[in-house]
Amino acid sequence: MARMKIAVLVSGRGSNMQAILDASQDASYPAEIGVVVSNIAGAPALQKASDAGVKTVTVPHKEYPDRESFDRRVTEEIEAAGCELVVLAGFMRLLSEEFCEHWRDRLINIHPSLLPSFKGLDVHERMITAGVRFGGCTVHYVRHEMDTGPIIVQAAVPVHPGDDSKKLAARILEQEHVIYPLAVKWIAEGRVRISGEVVKVSGAKAPDGALVNYLE
């Protein structure tokens, strides 16, 4: 059975890209990265992808007069590589409505909070300031409004006493590397369906019980 080809969009180090790349080394994994596209020449993720034999493309956003023309060029590269799913992995560009609609329900992102809480930037510091007892991460389909869209999978991560933003970010990132390859796997297997703006995953089961933030 042919594996689903995915495009990964990156701007930086690409640790979530690497997690998907690692998962795809297993022949039974139903997806493979067809192209990695970056808006930043020299982004570390490009070298990681190249070392793994994955095609890489740089589309410098400053060379385009507006967001729409840049996004169209990115779409051309994705489609030329024959990719069916677009995965944002630290892609530090706001996407145009045109791009989001063109790739609607074929475009996913990961965000380091339990959406819809803590959208935007400086997430880990804001969690600690707010005194929440659980943070986490969310993989979701992308809509034009920032950090919105149907939620595919989430991981809850406890906030420990004495945490600073770096410690919490590192703990959440570990779970990002778990749930992003999982979400891609489910989509590639055809198990994900969107009903209204709610995701249904065939065969998935919610965990039993509850989490309590402090244990005695």
> Which domains, and CATH codes, for the chain?
1-103 (3.40.50.170), 109-205 (3.40.50.170)
The CA R_g of the chain, rounded to the nearest whole Å, is 17
Q: Are 208 and 160 in contact (CB under 8 A)?
A: no
Of 169, 50, 152, give the one whose Cα is nearest residue 109: 152
Return averaged pLDDT per consecutive 10 residues of the chain, 216 residues in all. Answer: 94 97 97 98 96 97 96 98 98 96 98 98 97 97 97 97 96 98 98 96 91 81
At 84, list the tokens: 């069916």
DSSP-derived 3-state class of residue 81: coil
Rounded to whole angstroms, the maximal C-alpha distance in the chain is 58
What pLDDT sits at residue 87?
98
Active site positions, annotated:
111
What pLDDT sits at residue 213?
85
pTM, whole model, 2 decimals? 0.96
What distance in Å separates the CA atoms of residue 137 and residue 47, rounded to the nearest whole number?
Answer: 26
What pLDDT sits at residue 214?
80
